[in-house]
Structure 1
């Protein structure tokens, strides 16, 4: 996570290419069977470093796939993990499970933005619905409120797009 964080700092400082290179190296180092939280985080931030909107969508889809795969595996092993109250029974550390749960609304929101940018409003709306559902499942707080506001802004942008039927 430290190396992921360092690459994110580079990206936020404006060195998009170096951030993309470092994150790509980490992606290959972790591989397809690496920790799902790390893969999800890497793909999520790799999406932000892409120049082509189709590539950004591909990376956001990989991030969601990593998160969903992790949840599905844990659900099969231990029952419905997302509803679990006894995290000690979960096969993953508490921070990874909680972080993955909290990541879902942002992942769907990013996909909605990707689809909106690619002029695919129906796909964008479907992802906004998923983002809203996941956001509603979060505890009240700044993160949840920020997600809900971002969902509304994107929804307004999609609804106000030229060529939209009333």
Structure 2
């Protein structure tokens, strides 16, 4: 198990723009966490997803964050300034839904969007809450647009074998 101080320092490094170094520090913290360190793993995976250069790896970290989250007690993140861990749920669902959408997994993106929307009452008020709510709204619009694009029949393209405006003789 690693301490919250090391995790906070690694995350702060990343947030300051030291993405590569922060990513390595967070990965090192992850490596010393154990299966029972759900709160730390949830937070680390949540931030590790953001430093991935590959969409599939990003989504895998987002999935890990959500898998760990379900075992986090409501007060388990108080030490890092999150009084109620329940308030993290909308952000976790938002990130995973966005990743699924970018992978073309529209149905799974919708499931995550709905879960995030159902949990947004846990956010409270303030800048972070508004940021997540706006993110959920943007994700909903993107999913709607993607669904509409998939439902719209393609415009027929004239065959190269037949001349325009007539039939072949």
Q: TM-score, normalised by structure 2?
A: 0.75
Q: Decide whether aligned partners of structure 1 residues 130 and 153 sit closer, same or farther in structure 2, where only a CA change above 3 A counts.
A: same
> Which runs of structure 2 are paired with 1:9-158 in the superposition (5 Å)?
9-34=12-37, 36-71=38-73, 95=78, 98-158=83-143
Q: Give ranges in structure 2 of 5+ residues lacking alignment.
A: 153-169
Tell me, yes or no, if the aligned pair for 2:86 and 2:122 is still in contact at 8 Å.
Answer: no
Larger Rg: 2
Q: What's the offset of the Cα at 1:8?
A: 2.0
Q: Decide whether aligned partners of structure 1 residues 94 and 41 sit closer, same or farther in structure 2, where only a CA change above 3 A counts.
A: closer
Aligned residues: 146
Q: What's the offset of the Cα at 1:93?
A: 5.5
Q: Decide whether aligned partners of structure 1 residues 136 and 165 sit closer, same or farther in structure 2, where only a CA change above 3 A counts.
A: farther
Give the RMSD, CA atoms, in angstroms.
2.3
Q: What's the offset of the Cα at 1:121?
A: 1.4
Per-residue deviation, residues 85-120 of structure 1 (Å, max 9, x unmatched): xxxxxxx55826844211111000010011011111
